[in-house]
Amino acid sequence: MATTSASDIGQLLNERFGRFAELGLLTGAIILLCVIFTMTSPVFFSVGNFINIIRQTAIVIVLGLGMTYVIISAEIDVSIGGVMALSAISAGLVINAVGPVAGAIAGLTVGLAFGLSNGLITIRFGIPSFIVTIGTLGIARGAAFIISDQKPIIIQSAAFDSVFGGSIGPMPALVLWALVLTVIAGVALCRTRFGRHVYATGDSEQAARYSGISTNRVKITTLALTGLAAGMAGLLFIGRLGAARADMASGIELAVIAAVIIGGTSLFGGRGSVIGTVLGALLISIIDNGLTLLGFGSSWQQLIRGVVIIAAVALRDRDEEGNFL
Amino acid sequence: MKKQHNRRSLIKAIGVTGIGISLAGCSGNGGGSEGSGSNNDPLFDLATVGSEGLVGQGPYGSEAAAPDSVALSDAELSEVQNQDFNVEIVFHYKGDTWVRLQREAIKKRAEELGMNITGIHYPDFSAEKQSNILETVAQKNNVDGIFSIPVDTAATVDAYQTVLDAGKEIVFMDNVADGFKHPNDYAGLVAADNRGMGIIGGRMMTSLIDSGKIIFLEFDVPFYVVDERETGAKQVLEESGNYKIETYGFTDPGKVLQVAQDALTSNPDASGLWAPWVNAPGAQAIQAIRQSDNDIPVTSCDLGERSAVLMAEGSPLKGVGSQQPYAQGLTEVRVMAKALLGKNTPSYIGLPSPPVARQNLLEMYPEILREESPESVTKHFE
Amino acid sequence: MTNVIRLKNISKQFGQIQAVEDVSFGIQENEVIALVGDNGAGKSTLIKIISGVLQQTSGSIYIRDEEVEIGNYNDAEARGIETVYQDLAITPNRTVAQNIFLGSEILERGPLGRFLRFVDDDEMQKKAGELLSRLELDLDPGSAVKNFSGGEQQSVAIARALQSDPDIVILDEPTSALSLDATQRVLDLIKRLNEQDVTIIFISHNLEAVFDVADRAAVLASGRLISVEDLSGVEENELVGMMMGRAQQGAD
């Protein structure tokens, strides 16, 4: 069967190269796509286009950082789109009324507050995070529409615009933000004790608990971080577009989760990496970009994205019970 | 509380998409039973009901030019055909008749003029997706111009700017990005005369009833196209002085039935109803009317299968002001051709809104919608 | 010989269920004592109370004659108590070294001094290697635990328990899932540890193993302590009788 041999490849690679196997495969896929698109589209391989791609991926990457932590800890957060919208709307209103710094703080606070709430409700009441975050998604999105009165909020602060939406030379601020946050998130996950505890909590919650790790605290923290990431993404969004709309980023949860999964993180928890998520997000963006340059519309992009997600998981190693990770 | 927010927000999201669908009066089966007797007598003097010339103004109050003002001379025609220009279309989303008709028109006219369409994009009504697409298309060196309708005129400004900076011509459909000036920033705006559409509906109402109370359904979400229609209709009714206008607002185009029912209950003496478009707000209002004791006439905007069936079968819907998306598309290509040749173009071209009622339905349907009148409509004329 | 741990009137209730009832006995320093009894006798519950995973409903625990509260794993570890659970409680996708130091990760001197300290993988790998070779185990500390067999994984769990240099090691059914070969190795390990002055408490159904390594056996049935026997003075069938016969009596 095709899937059996695909996973055998995955297993083979895993045994020989360890966890770098999947990332290597992903990088190879990205390189392959770049080669194909360069051959078919003269402008693909240009600095301008690459900067475009990364800039267009920046927000998904920032959201993906938080999502990576959460999914590795064996939870999930599908409220990020709504929280992002509410953060952006709140930030927009405060920026226009008070100032850019207050606005930025407001946006981040909203995100963090929702993240913490998600965590506390999940842990205190024992409700699965998937269900809790579906609820908070509705609350956040609805609140965004209500307080913005269904009108877009146009940002009237040049300072805010340049910090979050401007450029330093040819490098867009969005890209720099994404880069800095990726490095911080990646190093923290890989090299700090907390990061190790996140992995352990997702890998075997019981083992982690028996070893004295407060898995409750870990999960509340990862959910809070995701909320904070959504707040940050909201700020970047209004930096990019100059306006906050309550209907922004609808459906982004799926794109972010797809990036995380393609990047090698297991929905069961315990496995994954920040760099994988970044590569996963870039893969999707490159596909979109290449197809747009070729004149293929959103239908083809959706179709190919779906194929990529399935392929990314099928080529993966299975765990002992035979489940794809 | 939670549930309400949940639904509402979902509805908002669908609602914004719903505007797009509804605005073209998309094809959907006209529901409802046969009206009380099909009325074969002409209701309106279409000459007077139709707005004379164009009424609405473009952005910054510019005068509207007529579509013929961009006709191409023979010399210009051959020049364009020889140049082999490449153009792309960036819509707001995919799913409706307006988009279909525009696409068909642009394809046809582009082909005649030797222009290649190298890409057609549908950003799912998302400002960020449209921005991504515009930025990417701006990179394509071989593309000479784009046709586009902004999803959000404020949020997409930077993206349109990159297209402009890349030296491409922009022809806007229905709306312009904020702050863009003609002729430096864009080649031209081609739009339906939305104010005229509203005026037609208002005038039809004044033909049907001399005075009385009119239930006026208003879309509460700010959207330029709809706001213009409301202004036009209200203007006619207010100027005459014979009508009392009772305004009822809605935010979800798919949930107007309740609003209409409340309006009818509160106003048992109402004589007529106006809705900014038929599918779904106008159609739901008609449903409410049928359920009530008050059989009042309705006028609205947009010609599509739904509004056609409603008019054909003798429902309360008596007439609409229509768009002309196909003619609009043809005109847009001519504007693009002129601009690519370096010729002057008018800043705003408005397409007049033809009035459509049962009396001219069979003639107008194929003309506007570029297809045979369907069975659902023709069977009421046998 | 002193009692390194003394349980006094320990009871544990889960809702309506009395898992452990009024258990009192002492564990002598440097002995190997087995907890035996049928299923549901309360053995696992009892050791979880000692290891800090559970708290007793009533009763006291004394460690070297000092009354203590063992509220969580860290309290137990601080008192020198480490536990190897029946289901091993290891994280399969993490490496052997990471598992051995789970919850007790070694930190290096980070760039920001006291504020930000990174995990020192090299040090953990080295120490893990040393620990494994002391236990005469040949496992690659950098390999993921899931790549090893059940017996090897258990060795990792044992190594984790030994990492903090405990005085008291508790093992819950250390041989039940193992081959004969592996079982023998674990029993040898228990003996070796005991020679190094580690007190061992272990639960086992395998009475042959019990008689092989243990000095004494505490017999539990239906949550109650039946007796504590010196294994040099009792036969296997007598022990079984105590586990079962008394159980019948206890039921009425």
Give me the pLDDT at residue C83, please.
93
Interchain contact, A240 vs B158, CB within 8 Å:
yes
Higher-confidence residue of B322 and B43: namely: B322
Instruction: Report the interhelical angle of A274-294 vs A20-40 (nearest 10°).
Output: 20
Q: How many CB atoms lie within 10 A of CB C123?
A: 15
Whether the per-residue pLDDT at B33 is higher than 50: the answer is: no
Give me the pLDDT at residue C252, please.
40
Among all residues of chain C, which has the CA nearest to that of A199?
C94
The answer to whether B6 and A136 are in contact (CB under 8 A) is no
- Dump pLDDT digits (tens) for A166-198: 888 888 999 999 999 999 999 999 999 999 999
Give me the pLDDT at residue B71, please.
87
Give me the pLDDT at residue B215, please.
95
Whether the per-residue pLDDT at A325 is higher than 80: the answer is: no
Q: Do chains C and B touch (3 or more CB pairs under 8 A)?
A: no
Whether the per-residue pLDDT at C246 is higher than 60: the answer is: no
pLDDT (average), residues A265-282: 93
Interchain contact, C119 vs A191, CB within 8 Å:
yes
Interchain contact, C89 vs A206, CB within 8 Å:
yes
Interchain contact, A204 vs C107, CB within 8 Å:
no
- Report residue C172: phi and psi, to 5°: -100, 110
- Dump pLDDT digits (tens) for A54-77: 999 999 999 999 999 999 999 999
Whether the per-residue pLDDT at B32 is higher than 80: the answer is: no
Instruction: Report the interhelical angle of A215-241 vs A173-191 (nearest 10°).
Output: 170
What is the set of domains in chain B, with CATH numbers? 7-12+57-192+325-352 (3.40.50.2300), 46-53+194-323+356-381 (3.40.50.2300)
Closest Cα in chain B, distance from residue A188 (Å): 30
CB proximity A204 to C under 8 Å: yes
Sequence-separated (6 or more) residues with CB below 8 Å from residue B74: none
The answer to whether C192 and C223 are in contact (CB under 8 A) is no
H-helix or E-strand spanning residue A191 = helix A173-191
Interchain contact, A204 vs C91, CB within 8 Å:
yes
Give me the pLDDT at residue B58, please.
67
Interchain contact, B136 vs A242, CB within 8 Å:
no
Give me the pLDDT at residue B10, please.
45
* Chain B residues within an 8 Å CB radius of A172: none
Q: How many CB atoms lie within 10 A of CB B352?
A: 23
* Chain A residues within an 8 Å CB radius of C104: 211-212
Q: What does the block give as tokens for A174?
A: 């969005």
**Which of A119-128, C226-235, C242-251 is predicted least confidently?**
C242-251
CB proximity B293 to A under 8 Å: no
CB pairs under 8 A between A and C: 72
Angstrom distance (rounded) from CA B51 to CA B64: 14
Higher-confidence residue of A298 and A108: namely: A108
pLDDT (average), residues C53-64: 92
Among all residues of chain A, which has the CA nearest to that of C88?
A207
The answer to whether A40 and A294 are in contact (CB under 8 A) is yes
- Dump pLDDT digits (tens) for A132-162: 999 999 999 999 999 998 788 999 998 998 8
CB proximity A48 to B under 8 Å: yes
Interchain contact, A212 vs C77, CB within 8 Å:
yes
Whether the per-residue pLDDT at A19 is higher than 60: the answer is: no
Among all residues of chain A, which has the CA nearest to that of B119?
A295
Interchain contact, A289 vs B136, CB within 8 Å:
yes
User: What is C1-80+167-252's CATH superfamily?
Assistant: P-loop containing nucleotide triphosphate hydrolases (3.40.50.300)
* Chain A residues within an 8 Å CB radius of C160: 211
Interchain contact, C92 vs A212, CB within 8 Å:
no
- Dump pLDDT digits (tens) for C95-154: 999 999 998 898 887 666 667 788 999 999 999 999 888 888 888 899 999 888 888 888
Higher-confidence residue of A6 and A164: namely: A164
DSSP three-state, residue B302:
coil
For chain A, percent of residues with pLDDT exceeding 90: 67
pLDDT (average), residues A216-224: 97
Whether the per-residue pLDDT at A11 is higher than 80: the answer is: no
Give me the pLDDT at residue A189, please.
96
CB proximity A50 to C under 8 Å: no
Give me the pLDDT at residue C176, please.
84
**Which of A16-20, A184-188, C52-56, C235-239 is predicted least confidently?**
A16-20
The pTM of the full predicted model, rounded to 2 decimals, is 0.83
Closest Cα in chain A, distance from residue C93 (Å): 7
Binning pLDDT at 50, 70 and 90, where does residue B18 land?
very low
Whether the per-residue pLDDT at C155 is higher than 90: the answer is: no
pLDDT (average), residues B200-219: 92
Give me the pLDDT at residue A306, please.
87
Picking from A59, A293, A298, the nearest residue to B140 by CB comes out as A293
**Which of A5-9, A236-240, C57-61 is predicted least confidently?**
A5-9
Give me the pLDDT at residue C67, please.
92
Interchain contact, C94 vs A200, CB within 8 Å:
yes
Prediction ipTM score: 0.86
Closest Cα in chain B, distance from residue A288 (Å): 9
For chain B, percent of residues with pLDDT exceeding 90: 57
* Chain A residues within an 8 Å CB radius of B249: none
Interchain contact, B135 vs A241, CB within 8 Å:
no
> Average pLDDT of chain A?
89
Picking from A41, A150, A248, the nearest residue to B128 by CB comes out as A248
> Average pLDDT of chain C?
88
Report the neighbours of B using a cutoff of 3 or more CB pairs below 8 angstroms. Answer: A
Report the neighbours of C using a cutoff of 3 or more CB pairs below 8 angstroms. Answer: A
Find residues 189-228 of chain A whose CB sits inside 8 Å of chain B: none
CB proximity B170 to A under 8 Å: no
Whether the per-residue pLDDT at C215 is higher than 50: the answer is: yes
pLDDT (average), residues B92-105: 86
The answer to whether B140 and B85 are in contact (CB under 8 A) is no
Give me the pLDDT at residue B298, please.
95
Higher-confidence residue of C231 and A227: namely: A227
Give me the pLDDT at residue C139, please.
87
pLDDT (average), residues B161-178: 93
- Contacts for B263-266: CB closer than 8 Å, 24+ residues apart: B263/B215, B263/B217, B263/B288, B264/B215, B264/B288, B264/B289, B264/B292, B264/B294, B265/B292
**Which of A250-254, B44-48, B57-61, C102-106 is predicted least confidently?**
B57-61
Find residues 120-149 of chain B whose CB sits inside 8 Å of chain A: 120-124, 126-129, 131-133, 135-137, 139-142
pLDDT (average), residues B283-297: 92
Closest Cα in chain A, distance from residue B369 (Å): 24
- Contacts for C182-188: CB closer than 8 Å, 24+ residues apart: C182/C151, C182/C154, C183/C209, C185/C151, C186/C154, C186/C158, C187/C212, C187/C213
Give me the pLDDT at residue A323, please.
57
Interchain contact, C89 vs A199, CB within 8 Å:
no
Interchain contact, B127 vs A142, CB within 8 Å:
no
* Chain C residues within an 8 Å CB radius of A193: 105, 107, 117, 119
Give me the pLDDT at residue B108, please.
95
Give me the pLDDT at residue C196, please.
87
Whether the per-residue pLDDT at C165 is higher than 50: the answer is: yes
Give me the pLDDT at residue C166, please.
93
Interchain contact, A150 vs B221, CB within 8 Å:
yes
Domain boundaries, given as residue ranges, for chain C: 1-80+167-252, 92-165
Whether the per-residue pLDDT at B220 is higher than 70: the answer is: yes
Whether the per-residue pLDDT at C244 is higher than 90: the answer is: no
CB pairs under 8 A between A and B: 117
> Average pLDDT of chain B?
84
**Which of B89-93, C45-49, C175-179, C200-204 is predicted least confidently?**
C175-179
